Amino acid sequence: MSTDGTVYAARIRYTELFERGKINRTELKIYRDGAQIVPTAVKYSLWKPDATGIVEEVAASIEADGTIYYSLGAAQLANTLPLGESYIGEWICTIATKEYTFRRMVALCRRRLYPTITDADLIEEYASLNDLRPSSLTSFQPYIDSSWGEILRRIRNNSMGYEYLVTSPESFHDALKHLTLHKIFKDFHSALGQSQGTYLDVSQLHYTRYQAEYDTINMVYDQDHEGKGIDADQRTKGRPVIYTVSPPPYRYYRRK
């Protein structure tokens, strides 16, 4: 494969999750200079942790806007495959006669973790929020998606655990809500072009609330990949507690 040195951006925000024994669609969007690229041909591979292929360089599909995708069948992601990390998805894309390879880490899981808020939850906080929304937006979903991706990355980056092993998605509800409101009001403030203002104050307030809510997350965690939560009294916190004297009479479990 050859390239001409051009740098393209593949929009990969977090580890991709495939549910074992189900049909899973994977897709990718590629950008350059702020515009989405439309490849002329695409091949997709999915590699197991031992580097053997589940699918190898099969033809993938290309939508009109350039989004590339491939659907994996339930038989390809059979229940005999090991659950967990270190699967790798690989796209070989032909762009302007050159081939470029984009990789994404994949985890095979029993269930994905989904966000728990929608516009209704945001409007519960601010009844006038719909009136403030720009006419170019039909909902606040882009802010929710951005906030959810940030939380998923944070779960992994601070060694909190793996998001697909969380069995209590409501544990993230308040943190997600306040991070979303932070992003919304920060954007409102930016649109006004002011250095100070009410929107900036509200944005900062919700960011402080987000940090506080994230630090107090107390989630039920399926550390053994069994598809069920452990004893609800044995939970994992968002920020580990360090004891300098005696350990507590209970224990928080974390998957290694």
Indicate the domain borders of the chain.
Answer: 9-109, 119-237
Q: According to the model, what pLDDT value does residue 195 have?
A: 60
- C-alpha radius of gyration, the chain, whole number: 21
What integer is the mean pLDDT of 97-106?
96
Per-residue pLDDT tens over the stretch 11-52:
999 999 999 999 999 999 999 999 999 999 999 999 999 999
CATH numeric code, 9-109: 2.60.40.1220
Share of the chain above pLDDT 90, in %: 69
